[in-house]
Amino acid sequence: NAGVTQTPKFQVLKTGQSMTLQCAQDMNHEYMSWYRQDPGMGLRLIHYSVGAGITDQGEVPNGYNVSRSTTEDFPLRLLSAAPSQTSVYFCAALKGANYGYTFGSGTRLTVV
Amino acid sequence: AQKITQTQPGMFVQEKEAVTLDCTYDTSDPSYGLFWYKQPSSGEMIFLIYQGSYDQQNATEGRYSLNFQKARKSANLVISASQLGDSAMYFCAMSAPTDSWGKLQFGAGTQVVVTP
């Protein structure tokens, strides 16, 4: 039982390139979310999903797209990478409030 | 809109002592949940404890307890008998079902350093 799996763990992109950060969960959780963490700041919500086929924007959605075709997968797409998107990205899934969100191990993205 | 405030950017605590990390929140939702997470230097996010707004008792989980004062909108984390392994960044967060459980709002965090 892996929980939440994020790939890749590290990535370097050139400005203007696109890429997809993968997130998969094997817990059959309905809620999934993507966050970014910048130095000295807490995590900020990018996009979230309340179930397959349903997604919505969070606090900082610009430059990112998501889709949720299955319960298990919630990929995050960077459309045209910018240096401001250099950050650590976390994916999370929620079973129930009492259990808290389970986070993936994170993806450290650098855009040069 | 929800807001989480952690006013202590950093704290030093001696091993075996208790430490209280402050968290205040603001929401107009009557139903909400409060979470605490630990982020060690390795970077992973570790769920510590949860408090529901309608829970009658303060949450406890091993050495972690949550001092929930609803009228004051505070949800302070108390770590008893600190250990060296408690050195980490600690985040307070909240979510509300009327908005969506999928939306977790984080505070800026408190860095805790436990000294021998």
Inspect the interface and report whether the beta carbons of B102 and A97 lie closer than 8 Å. Answer: no
Tokens at B22, concatenated: 């402050």
- What would the mean pLDDT of A60-80 be, rounded to a whole number? 96
- Strand partners for A94: A31, A101
Contact present, B69 and B54 (Cβ < 8 Å): no
H helix count then E strand count, chain B: 0, 12
Question: DSSP code of B47?
Answer: E
Q: Are B78 and B18 in contact (CB under 8 A)?
A: yes
Average pLDDT on B35-45 reads 95
Given the DSSP bridges, would you call strands A76-78 and A64-66 parallel, antiparallel or unpaired? antiparallel
Question: B106 vs A88: CB contact, 8 Å cut-off?
Answer: no
Q: Strands B100-106 and B88-96, how do they pair? A: antiparallel
Do strands A31-37 and A43-51 pair parallel, antiparallel, or not at all (unpaired)?
antiparallel
Interface A–B counts its CB contacts (< 8 A) at 72
Q: Token pair for residue B71?
A: 């009228």
Q: Which of A35, A59, A101 has the highest number of chain B CBs within 10 A, making it the mutation to test binding with B?
A: A101
B63 pLDDT tier (thresholds 50, 70, 90): very high
Q: Over 60: is that where the pLDDT of A1 sits?
A: no
A73 within 8 A of A24, measured Cβ to Cβ: yes
Which of A31, A40, A100 is closest, CB to CB, to B102?
Answer: A31
Rg (CA), chain B: 14
Identify the pLDDT of residue B32.
93
Identify the DSSP state of A73: B
The answer to whether the Cβ–Cβ distance between B101 and A97 falls below 8 Å is: yes
The single residue listed with the structure tokens 């949860």 is B50
Between CA B24 and CA B26 the distance in angstroms is 7
Determine, for residues B44 and A32 on separate chains, whether the beta-carbon distance falls below 8 Å.
no
- For residue B75, what are the contacts with CB-CB under 8 A and spacing of at least 6? B23, B24, B25, B34, B36, B51, B66, B67, B68, B69, B92, B94
**In the block, which residue shows the tokens 């509300």?**
B96
Percent of chain A with pLDDT over 70: 97
Binned at pLDDT 50, 70 and 90, residue A90 comes out as very high
List pLDDT tens digits, range A41-56.
Answer: 789 999 999 999 999 9
The token duo for B51 is 């408090």
What does the alpha-carbon distance between residue A23 and residue A8 come to, in Å, rounded to a whole number?
9
Q: Which amino acid type is present at position B98? A: T
Interface test with B, best of A38, A43, A46, A94 (most B CBs within 10 A): A43
> B103 vs A44: CB contact, 8 Å cut-off?
no
CA closest to B47 among chain A residues = A100
Confidence of residue B71 (pLDDT cuts 50, 70, 90): very high
